[in-house]
Amino acid sequence: MNYRRYFEAAVFRLRSERRYRVFVPIERDVESFPVSAWRRPDGCSQDVTIWCSNDYLGMGQHPEVIQAMIETAGRTGAGAGGTRNISGTSQAIVELERELADLHRKEAALVFTSGWISNLAAISTIADLLPNCLILSDESNHNSMIEGVRRSRAEKRVVRHNDLEHFEELLITAGDRPKLIVFESLYSMSGNVAPVAEIAALAKRYGAMTYIDEVHAVGMYGARGGGVCEQADVMDQIDVIEGTLAKGFGALGGYIAGDAALIDAVRSYAPSFIFTTALPPAVAAAACAAVRLLKSRPEIRATHQRAVQVTKHALLAAGLPVLENSSHIVPVLVRDAQLCKAASDMLLDRHGIYIQPINYPTVAKGAERLRITPTPHHTREHIGALVEALVDVWQTLGLPFIEPPANLGIHEKSAEQCAYPEILRAAQ
Amino acid sequence: MNYRRYFEAAVFRLRSERRYRVFVPIERDVESFPVSAWRRPDGCSQDVTIWCSNDYLGMGQHPEVIQAMIETAGRTGAGAGGTRNISGTSQAIVELERELADLHRKEAALVFTSGWISNLAAISTIADLLPNCLILSDESNHNSMIEGVRRSRAEKRVVRHNDLEHFEELLITAGDRPKLIVFESLYSMSGNVAPVAEIAALAKRYGAMTYIDEVHAVGMYGARGGGVCEQADVMDQIDVIEGTLAKGFGALGGYIAGDAALIDAVRSYAPSFIFTTALPPAVAAAACAAVRLLKSRPEIRATHQRAVQVTKHALLAAGLPVLENSSHIVPVLVRDAQLCKAASDMLLDRHGIYIQPINYPTVAKGAERLRITPTPHHTREHIGALVEALVDVWQTLGLPFIEPPANLGIHEKSAEQCAYPEILRAAQ
C-alpha cells in the first residue's frame, strides 16, 4: 500500500488553499534584538527586524534571565533527568511554582512543559473530577483549550465571544450542576480583552467555577504582572489562572495557579503531566528570574505599552487598517490569504521586516492579517521603518488604506508620541 | 457550590489506595552526579545517590552538552520567542532536526516540546490522514501513545504485548485497508525489548505502516545511538521513529523521523505542534550536541552497558528479585504498593539512595517495583553501596529474597565483573 500519497495529498491541499506554512529560520542575537539574522533560502544571512515575536517584553533577552539560565545549566546540567515524580523535581522548578503561586495570590501552582499542555491537562482533569460537569467555553478560545474540553468527558456549550448575556443564559439553563467557565483574558489574534470582572460576577451569582487563560497577559498587565485579572482586581474571584512562561516571561512552559487541593488533584491525575519529563532546571530558573523581575519592574510594562501606543498611532495615522483593541497586539487586516502571504514576503525581502502572515485556521477566512507585536526594544526608528515599509507594501500590492480616525492628532499624548510626517504624506 | 471538596476527595482516594505521589526535590550537581542534594522535608540538604534517573547516559551532565546550552543562551537568549511558524524557528532547531533525520537515516525529522506531545501529535495526525485507518496498538504502550490513538478518529485494536501471532492475526483480519502498527522498541517499566525485525517483516507482508517509540533506546543502542532499530538493522523497515531528547540525550523535547511528506503533513496538521512555542534554541543546541556526541562515541554506550551488567549481576548474586531482561533497565520487584513506598523511603532516609517507587497505574497492581537505572557515572563503589542498602531494606521489611540463578558466577565475564562477597554473605 502506498501510504506516502496520502501525506502528499494532505500537503497539496494546503498548498492549493494557499495556507501552506513556510517556517522562517531566525537567529536571534541578544546584542541586537529585535534585529536578528534571517537565514535566507539561498543560504545567505540577512538582518531583519522581528515584529511578530511573542517574547512580548523581550525578557528572553534580559541579561538577568539569561544569566539565571546559564548559571543553573552550568551548575546542574542541561535537563531535568526525569518526570516530576521520578527524579525530575529540581529546586528550580519548586521555586518557580512558589513564585507563580505568589504572583497570582493563590495557594499553589503547577508547571507544565508548555501552555498547550497545561490547558489540555488542567481543563480535562478538572472537568472530569466534577460529576456531571457542564463546560461553558468561549467560541474564540485557543486550540489548546478546545482540546482540553474535547478530551474531557464533560458536556460542553460554546458561548458567543465575550457575550455576557449568552453566558448568563447558559448558566441559568444549566441549573445547579457543576459548571466550569473556560475563557481567555486576552485573545491573541484580535487583541480583544474579556470582561473578566463581569464574567467572574456571573460565575459567582450562578455558582460556576472559572478557568481563565492569561497566556497573552501574564507579565504584561497588573501591578506585578499578574495579568488582566490583577489589573481588574479580580484575581481572587477566578478559580484557576493558566499562564505561560514562553511569552511575557521569555522562556518555555506553562502553568496553572489555584487552590492547593485543585492543584494537587491535577498534579495527581493528569497523564500529560505525570508521564512527561520536567522542564530543565535552567529553563525553570530563567522563567523564575523573569517572573521576579516583572513583579518589581513596572517600568518594563510602561515602556512596552508606550511602544505599542506609538506603533498603533503611527500605523493609523498612515491610513493602515489596524484592528483597534485595548491591548498590546496590533493586527493589521489584509483579508486575503494570498495577499497576506505576499505582504509578509515583501516586507521580509524588500524591507528586512519579519511579520508572519496569519491565515486560516488561526483566524477565519477573510480575516487574514499581519499581527504586529511591539516590544520595549522597538525604538521609534524601528517603528518609523515599519510604517514606511507597510505603506510601500500596501501601495505595491494595491491594498486599501483607511481614513485615519478623526480624533488622531487632537489626542494630546498621541500627538506628542507620533511624529512621522513624511510617512503620513506618503500614505495620502 | 463547594467545588473544593471534589478535588479533596480525588486526592483522598489516592492516599487511601497508597498511591499518592510525593515528589522528591533533588538538586543535581554536575561535579558529583549521580550524587545530588536532596532537600529534606525538614529543610536540610542531604547527599543522595540518584539511581532512578532517565538521563540514562548522564549526557545532561556532559561538559560539551552543557557548553552548547550556555553558549547558545548567551548568544540568542532564553526562549524561542514564538511558535515554529511565528518567529520560533531558530537555527539550532533546524540543525537539530537535520541531525535527527541523519541519525535515523530518514528524509526528515520534526521536534516537539516533549515526547508525550510527539506521540499525541504524530499518531493522531497520521491515523487521521489515512482514510479508514485501523490502528494496531501494543497493550503495553506508553500513556502518550494511548492518548494519540484515542485522540484520532481511527478504529483501533489492542495487541497482546509483543505477541507476533496476535499481530499477524489482526493484520490478516484487517484486510487491505490502511493499517498503522504502533509499538515501542523498549518498554520502560519491564525493560522488555520488542521483536522489531519480526514486526517490521509482518508489516511489510501485510502492507501496514509502522510507528515505533524508541524513547528508552535512542542514544543507547545501535552503532550511532539510533536505537533498537539501528541495532537490529531495520531502521529502513520502520516508517516512523519517535524518540526523546530528554533521556539518552539529556535535555528536553521529543521528535519523529520519517519520510519528508509524512513529516511535512504532521508539521502542517497537528495542532499540538502548530499552536505551541518552540523549544528554546539553547535546549535544542544541548540536545543536538548530545546527538552528535553519541553518534561518534560508542564507548559511552559500552560503559553504560557495563554498569548495567555489573549492577544486575550484583543484585542477582545478593538474591534480590531482579526482573530479567536484555536492556539497561533493572526492575526489582516488591509486588506491594505500601512496601514499595516503604522500601523507597528507607533507601532515602537510611542509605542516601534515591529510587522512586513505581506503583499503579504506571505498573499493574501486584507488580510494584523499584526501577533502577545505572548510568556510566555509577561506579563499582556506588553499585556496592546500592546492593548493601537493598539487602538491608529487604531484611528490615521482611521482603523475600530469591535463589541466585545457578549460572551466576560460572559466566566468566560476569564473575570478573562482580566481586561483592560481603554483600553475598549478608544476603544469605
DSSP character at residue B401: P
A-chain residues within 8 Å CB-CB of B256?
Answer: none
pLDDT of residue A134: 98
Compute the average pLDDT of residues B119-124.
98
B281 within domain boundaries: yes
B319 within domain boundaries: yes
Compute the average pLDDT of residues A248-276.
97
**Is the same domain home to A120 and A247?**
yes
Q: Are A77 and B28 inside 8 Å of each other by CB?
A: yes
B-chain residues within 8 Å CB-CB of A4?
Answer: 259, 261-262
* pLDDT per residue as tens digits for the range B276-288: 999 999 999 999 9
CA angle B227, B233, B234 (to 5 degrees): 85
B114 within domain boundaries: yes
Segment among A22-26, A391-395, B413-417 with least mean pLDDT: B413-417
Segment among A75-84, A399-408, B71-80, B310-319 with least mean pLDDT: A399-408
Give the Cα separation of B339 and B18 in Å (integer). Answer: 10
Percent of chain B with pLDDT over 70: 95
Helix (H, G, I), strand (E, B) or coil at A102: helix
Helix (H, G, I), strand (E, B) or coil at A22: coil
B5 within domain boundaries: no
CB B244 within 8 A of CB B254: yes
Q: Is B282 on the interface with A (CB under 8 A)?
A: yes
Q: Are A261 and B11 inside 8 Å of each other by CB?
A: yes
**Is the same domain home to B188 and B277?**
yes
**Going by C-beta distance under 8 Å and a sequence separation of 6 or more, which residues neighbour residue B359?**
B18, B19, B337, B340, B341, B368
**Is the same domain home to A144 and A289?**
yes
Q: Is B35 on the interface with A (CB under 8 A)?
A: no
Q: Are B54 and A10 inside 8 Å of each other by CB?
A: no
CB B147 within 8 A of CB B115: no
Does residue A428 carry a pLDDT above 80? no
Helix (H, G, I), strand (E, B) or coil at A110: strand
Interface test with B, best of A276, A293, A359 (most B CBs within 10 A): A276
Q: Is the dihedral of CA B204, B206, B211, B216 positive or negative?
A: negative
Q: Is B75 on the interface with A (CB under 8 A)?
A: yes
**Selection from A68, A41, A45, A65 nearest residue A55 by Cα:** A65
Q: Are A144 and B275 inside 8 Å of each other by CB?
A: yes
DSSP character at residue B277: B
Q: Are B23 and A78 inside 8 Å of each other by CB?
A: no
pLDDT of residue B405: 83
Give the Cα separation of A392 and A351 in Å (integer). Answer: 9
**Selection from A184, A232, A233, A175 nearest residue A207 by Cα:** A175
CB A256 within 8 A of CB A240: yes
Burial class of residue A177, CB neighbours in 10 A (0-12, 13-18, 19+): middle
CA distances to B144, B273, B404 from A270, rounded to whole Å, are 12, 20, 40
As annotated, the active-site residues of A are 247
At B151, is the pLDDT very low, low, confident or very high (cuts 50, 70, 90)?
Answer: very high
Pairing of strands B179-184, B134-138: parallel
Compute the average pLDDT of residues B337-341.
94
**Is the same domain home to A242 and A356?**
no
pLDDT of residue A409: 54
**Is the same domain home to B43 and B85?**
no
B-chain residues within 8 Å CB-CB of A1?
Answer: 176, 178, 207-208
**Is the same domain home to B94 and B217?**
yes
**Is the same domain home to B130 and B250?**
yes
Q: How far is CA A394 from the centre of its chain?
A: 27
A341 within domain boundaries: yes
What is the distance in angstroms between the Cα of B2 and the nearest Cα belonging to chain A?
A: 9
**Going by C-beta distance under 8 Å and a sequence separation of 6 or more, which residues neighbour residue B119?**
B142, B144, B145, B147, B148, B213, B242, B254
Cis previous bond, B280, omega within 30: no
pLDDT of residue A66: 98
pLDDT of residue B19: 86
Does residue A125 carry a pLDDT above 60? yes
Q: Is A26 on the interface with B (CB under 8 A)?
A: yes
DSSP letters along B345-395, please?
HHHHHHH-EE--EE-TTTS-TT--EEEE---TT--HHHHHHHHHHHHHHHH
Q: Which three cell numbers stand for residue B130?
A: 489515512
What is the distance in angstroms between the Cα of A294 and the nearest Cα belonging to chain B?
A: 16
Q: Are A81 and B271 inside 8 Å of each other by CB?
A: no
Residue numbers of B between 304 and 343 with CB closer than 8 Å to A: none
**Is the same domain home to A180 and A101?**
yes
**Is the same domain home to B217 and B228?**
yes
A-chain residues within 8 Å CB-CB of B55?
Answer: 77, 79, 81-82
Q: Is B30 on the interface with A (CB under 8 A)?
A: yes
Q: Which three cell numbers stand for residue B399?
A: 521482603
Q: Is B44 on the interface with A (CB under 8 A)?
A: no
Does residue A425 carry a pLDDT above 60? no
Give the Cα separation of A127 and B412 in Å (integer). Answer: 58
Q: Is B11 on the interface with A (CB under 8 A)?
A: yes
DSSP character at residue B322: B
Does residue A110 carry a pLDDT above 80? yes
* pLDDT per residue as tens digits for the range A365-383: 999 999 999 999 999 999 9
What is the pLDDT of chain A when averaged over all its residues?
94
Burial A184-223 (b: 16+ CB within 10 A, else e): bbbbbbbbbbbbbeebbebbeebbbbbbbbbbbbbbbbbe
Neighbours of A428 (CB within 10 A): 10
- In chain B, which residue's Cα lies nearest the Cα of A126? B7
As annotated, the active-site residues of B are 247
Domain boundary among B296, B323, B351: B296
What is the distance in angstroms between the Cα of A35 and the nearest Cα belonging to chain B?
A: 11
Q: Is B26 on the interface with A (CB under 8 A)?
A: yes
**Going by C-beta distance under 8 Å and a sequence separation of 6 or more, which residues neighbour residue B155?**
B133, B134, B135
Give the Cα separation of A284 and A96 in Å (integer). Answer: 6
Domain boundary among B271, B296, B321: B296
- Domain range for B109: 62-296
- Please report, as a single letter, which amino acid is at residue A88: G
CB B146 within 8 A of CB B159: no
B185 within domain boundaries: yes
Does residue B7 carry a pLDDT above 70? yes
Phi/psi of residue B120, nearest 5 degrees: -55, -50
Number of Cα atoms under 13 Å in the Cβ half of residue B402: 15
CA distances to A232, A240, B125, B278 from B265, rounded to whole Å, are 42, 35, 8, 18
**Is the same domain home to B143 and B178?**
yes
* pLDDT per residue as tens digits for the range B225-253: 999 999 999 999 999 999 999 999 999 99
- In chain A, which residue's Cα lies nearest the Cα of B30? A76
- In chain A, which residue's Cα lies nearest the Cα of B79? A251
Helices B281-296 and B91-103 meet at what angle, rounded to 10? 30
Does residue B427 carry a pLDDT above 70? no
CB A72 within 8 A of CB A92: yes
What is the distance in angstroms between the Cα of B402 and the nearest Cα belonging to chain A?
A: 27
Helix (H, G, I), strand (E, B) or coil at B158: strand
Long-range contacts of A164-170 (CB under 8 A, 24+ apart): A164/A195, A164/A198, A164/A199, A164/A202, A167/A136, A167/A199, A167/A202, A168/A202, A168/A206, A170/A136
Q: Is A28 on the interface with B (CB under 8 A)?
A: yes
Compute the average pLDDT of residues A172-197.
96
Q: Are A89 and B23 inside 8 Å of each other by CB?
A: yes
Interface test with B, best of A51, A62, A86 (most B CBs within 10 A): A86
Neighbours of A361 (CB within 10 A): 11
Helix (H, G, I), strand (E, B) or coil at B136: strand
**Selection from B243, B245, B269 nearest residue B257 by Cα:** B243
**Selection from B85, B72, B283, B271 nearest residue A52 by Cα:** B85
Number of Cα atoms under 13 Å in the Cβ half of residue A113: 35
**Selection from A313, A316, A326, A323 nearest residue A380 by Cα:** A313
Q: Is A50 on the interface with B (CB under 8 A)?
A: yes
Q: Is B63 on the interface with A (CB under 8 A)?
A: no
Compute the average pLDDT of residues B408-428.
40
What is the distance in angstroms between the Cα of A247 and the nearest Cα belonging to chain B?
A: 7
Domain boundary among B281, B296, B311: B296
A-chain residues within 8 Å CB-CB of B81?
Answer: 28, 50, 53-55, 60, 250
What is the pLDDT of chain B when averaged over all its residues?
94
**Selection from B243, B259, B341 nearest residue B24 by Cα:** B341
Give the Cα separation of A119 and A112 in Å (integer). Answer: 9
Q: Is A363 on the interface with B (CB under 8 A)?
A: no
A255 within domain boundaries: yes
Pairing of strands B35-39, B45-50: antiparallel
Compute the average pLDDT of residues B369-390.
97
Q: Is B52 on the interface with A (CB under 8 A)?
A: yes
pLDDT of residue B53: 96
**Is the same domain home to A79 and A191?**
yes
B7 within domain boundaries: no
**Is the same domain home to B359 and B279?**
no
B-chain residues within 8 Å CB-CB of A135?
Answer: none
Q: Is A142 on the interface with B (CB under 8 A)?
A: yes
**Selection from B281, B274, B91, B285 nearest residue A40 by Cα:** B91
Does residue B382 carry a pLDDT above 60? yes
Tell me the count of A-B CB pairs closer than 8 A: 335
At A360, is the pLDDT very low, low, confident or very high (cuts 50, 70, 90)?
Answer: confident
Q: Are A116 and B276 inside 8 Å of each other by CB?
A: yes
Which segments of A296-422 are extended strands (E)?
330-333, 353-354, 357-358, 369-372
Residue numbers of A between 172 and 191 with CB closer than 8 Å to B: 176, 178
* pLDDT per residue as tens digits for the range A71-99: 999 999 999 999 999 999 999 999 999 99
Of A151, A244, A261, the CB nearest to B4: A261
Number of Cα atoms under 13 Å in the Cβ half of residue A280: 41
**Selection from A98, A72, A95, A84 nearest residue B28 by Cα:** A72
Give the Cα separation of A365 and A314 in Å (integer). Answer: 27
CA distances to B343, B346, B391, B421 from B396, rounded to whole Å, are 9, 9, 9, 20
Q: Are B78 and A251 inside 8 Å of each other by CB?
A: yes
Task: State the total domains in chain B.
Answer: 2
**Selection from A13, A16, A4, A19 nearest residue A336 by Cα:** A19
Q: What is the CATH number of the domain that holds A387?
A: 3.90.1150.10
Q: What is the CATH number of the domain that holds A187?
A: 3.40.640.10
Tell me the ipTM for this assembly. 0.94
Q: Is A394 on the interface with B (CB under 8 A)?
A: no
* pLDDT per residue as tens digits for the range B197-222: 999 999 999 999 999 999 999 999 99
Q: How far is CA A282 from the centre of its chain?
A: 22
What is the distance in angstroms between the Cα of A95 and the nearest Cα belonging to chain B?
A: 10
